[in-house]
Structure formats: structure tokens, C-alpha cells
Amino acid sequence: MKRNSLTSSAFQDEVPNYFAGTSNVSSIGRFGRKARVAQPTSPWFEELEDRLNELTALPRGWNGYDGAPVSFTCAQFAAALIERLFCANVPAPQLVPGDDGTLQLEWHINGFDVELDVLAPYEVNASRFDHLTGEDEEIEVQADFTALTEWMSQLGEERGPQLQTGT
């Protein structure tokens, strides 16, 4: 079996890994059983992968003070979250680093402001402001991301011509 050795990017923890072509299937054990290894593939992830790499490679003090780069664990969890929340009719989120190594995902479209602050894996503070109704919601999410999936779906719904250009 031919393998190409690669060095991963900062987002991928800068450890050597092996590129197995385009297949996500690998053999395990002597019986040739195959296991499918999930890799992020949504258009959002493809669009944001370089940005995640940049944010994890920020130098300490990037903000002019003592700002830390985005932690690998926050970036990896955010990538998994991006994959789960993907909605075809919603643009990819903006990625904003926190000075404490956290990462914020933001959407400002269709009359909504949605911000997901990834503090650590399974520790997300989420907020949504609806400019049409004035409703402001804040939730802490640890394991059940159903509410966030609903928020993404609502971001993509048509709400009237006055809101189609964004807020």
C-alpha cells in the first residue's frame, strides 16, 4: 500500500499524518474490515478551513495585549459544529477569535444576529437577536444542539423583502 507522508497544518495539531487519497475508508485488523472515518466535507468547512488554521496560528499578543491564539480544541469542536449545523441556503459564519483562545461563529443575515461562542468542546454560549420582532435569546449549549439547528433553518427562511439585504 502506497502512502504519502504529510505534515498537518496548525489546525490539525502539527503532527505527521498520512494522506490516503480521496477515500475516507481504511482497513482495520487482519480480517480486512473497513471503518469509515468522518472528515468535515460541508461547503462551510471547505470555505473556513484556512481561516481556522490562521486563527490557531495567531501569535500571542495578536490583539495588542496578551491575546491567545484560538485553542486547537475550540477550533476542532467548532469545525465539528460547523459540519453539523450546515444549511445549504445560509452562508458560512464569520469566525472571530476571542482573546482568551475561544472562537465565535457569527451570522448577521435575514434580520437575525446569531453568535455562537465556543468556549470549549460541548461548552457553547449562543445568542440570537431578531431585528424584526426585537426578541433576544441566550442559551448555554452543552450536548443538545437542536435549538441551534432550528436557528440555522430560520436564518435561511425568507422573511420579507425589507430583510433580504441583511441587517
Q: Is residue 12 predicted with pLDDT exceeding 70?
A: no
Q: How many CA atoms lie within 13 A of 5 on its CB side?
A: 2
CA–CA gap between residue 106 and residue 99 (Å, rounded)? 16
Assigned C-alpha cell, 128: 440570537
Q: What is the pTM of this model?
A: 0.73
Mean pLDDT of 31-46: 63
Q: Is residue 69 predicted with pLDDT exceeding 60?
A: yes
Q: Hey, where are the domains in the chain? A: 42-161
Q: How far is CA 98 from CA 60, 123, 131, in A?
A: 12, 14, 25
Q: Which of the 8 DSSP states describes residue 68? A: B
- Helix ranges (H only) for 15-145 are 43-56, 72-85
The residue assigned the cell 445568542 is 127
Q: How wide is the angle at C-alpha 73 spanned by C-alphas 82 and 24, nearest 5°?
A: 60
CA–CA gap between residue 114 and residue 12 (Å, rounded)? 27
CA–CA gap between residue 54 and residue 154 (Å, rounded)? 30
Q: Is residue 71 predicted with pLDDT exceeding 70?
A: yes
Average pLDDT, the chain: 79
CA–CA gap between residue 106 and residue 96 (Å, rounded)? 8
CA–CA gap between residue 93 and residue 161 (Å, rounded)? 22
Mean pLDDT of 28-45: 58
